[in-house]
Chains A and B, each alone.
Chain A
Amino acid sequence: MTPEDSKYAKSHEYVHVEGDIGTVGITDYAQKELGDVVFVELPQVGSQLEQNEELGSIESVKAVSELFAPISGEVVEVNEKLKDKPELVNTDPYGDGWMVRVKLSDATELDVLMGAEEYDEYVETESGH
Chain B
Amino acid sequence: MADQPAASLKKTPLNEIEKELGGKMVDFGGWELPVQYSGILDEHEAVRTRVGVFDVSHMGEVTVKGPDALSMLQKATCNDVSKLEDGRAQYNGLLYPTAGFVDDILIYRNAPDDYFIVVNASNSDKDYEWFRECAKGFDAEVRNRSAEYAQLAIQGPQAEKLLQPMTDVDLSRMKYYRFGKGKVDGVAAIVSRTGYTGEDGFEVYVSPEHSTRIMRKIIAAGAKPCGLGARDTLRLEAKMALYGNDIDHTTTPLEADLGWIVKLDKGDFNGREVLRRENAEGVRRRLVGFEMVDRGIARHGYPVVDGSQEIGVVTSGTHSPTLKKAIGLAYVPPDKTAQGSEFAVLIRGKETRARVVPTPFYKRAK
Q: Which residues of A contact B (CB under 8 A)?
A: 12, 30, 33, 35-36, 38-39, 41, 57, 59-65, 126-128
> How many pairs of residues, A versus B, come closer than 8 Å at their CB atoms?
48
A-side contacts of B39, CB under 8 Å: 35-36
Q: How far is the CB of B66 from chain A (nearest CB, A)?
A: 43
Residues of B within 8 A of A127 (CB): 4
Residues on A with C-beta less than 8 A from B2 are 33, 63
Residue from the list B4, B36, B233, B299 in contact with A64, Cβ < 8 A: B299
Query: B4–A61 contact, CB under 8 A?
Result: no
Q: In the complex, are the beta carbons of A61 and B319 less than 8 A apart?
A: yes
Closest B residue, CB atoms, query A66: B348
Bound state CA distance, A24 and B4, in angstroms?
27
Closest 8 A-B residue pairs measured CB to CB? A38-B319, A61-B40, A36-B41, A62-B229, A59-B297, A33-B1, A128-B4, A36-B39
Closest to A126 in B: B1
Whether A57 pairs with B348 at a CB distance below 8 angstroms is: yes
Given pairs A35-B229, A39-B319, 11 additional interface contacts (CB within 8 A): A12-B1, A33-B2, A36-B40, A39-B297, A57-B348, A59-B319, A61-B41, A61-B229, A61-B318, A62-B232, A126-B1
B295 at the interface (CB under 8 A from A): yes
Query: Which chain A residues lie closer than 8 Å to B319 at the CB level?
Result: 38-39, 59, 61
Contacts of B157 in A (CB 8 A): none
Q: In angstroms, how far is the closest chain B Cβ from the Cβ of A53?
A: 14
**CB atoms of A61 and B233 under 8 A apart:** yes
Q: A35 with B1: in contact, given A59-B319, A61-B229 (CB under 8 Å)?
A: no
- B298-327 CB mask vs A (1 if < 8 Å, else 0) is 010000000000000000001101000010
User: Would A38 and B229 be within 8 Å (CB), given that A62-B35, A127-B4 are in contact?
Assistant: no
Instruction: Pick 23 A–B contacts, CB within 8 A, sort by A.
Output: A30-B1, A33-B1, A33-B2, A35-B35, A35-B229, A36-B39, A38-B297, A39-B319, A39-B326, A41-B295, A41-B296, A59-B296, A59-B297, A60-B40, A61-B319, A62-B36, A62-B40, A63-B2, A63-B299, A64-B299, A64-B348, A127-B4, A128-B4
How far does the alpha carbon of A42 sit from the alpha carbon of B362 in the complex, in Å?
30
Chain B min CB distance to A119 (Å)? 14
Alpha-carbon distance A112/B348, docked complex (angstroms)? 29
Chain A residues whose C-beta falls within 8 Å of the C-beta of B35 in the assembled complex:
35, 62
Which residue of chain B has its CB nearest to the CB of A61?
A: B40
A71 to B233, CA, bound (A): 36
Q: With the chains together, A62 CA to B297 CA distance in Å?
A: 10
Assembled-state Cα–Cα distance A33/B296 (Å): 20
How many whole Å from B37's CB to the nearest CB in chain A?
11
Per the bound structure, the CA–CA distance linking A2 and B2 in Å amounts to 21
Chain A residues within 8 Å of B296, by CB:
39, 41, 59
Q: Given the complex, which residues of B lie within 8 Å of A62, measured CB to CB?
A: 35-36, 40, 229, 232, 318
CB interface residues, B 259-315, toward A, < 8 Å: 295-297, 299
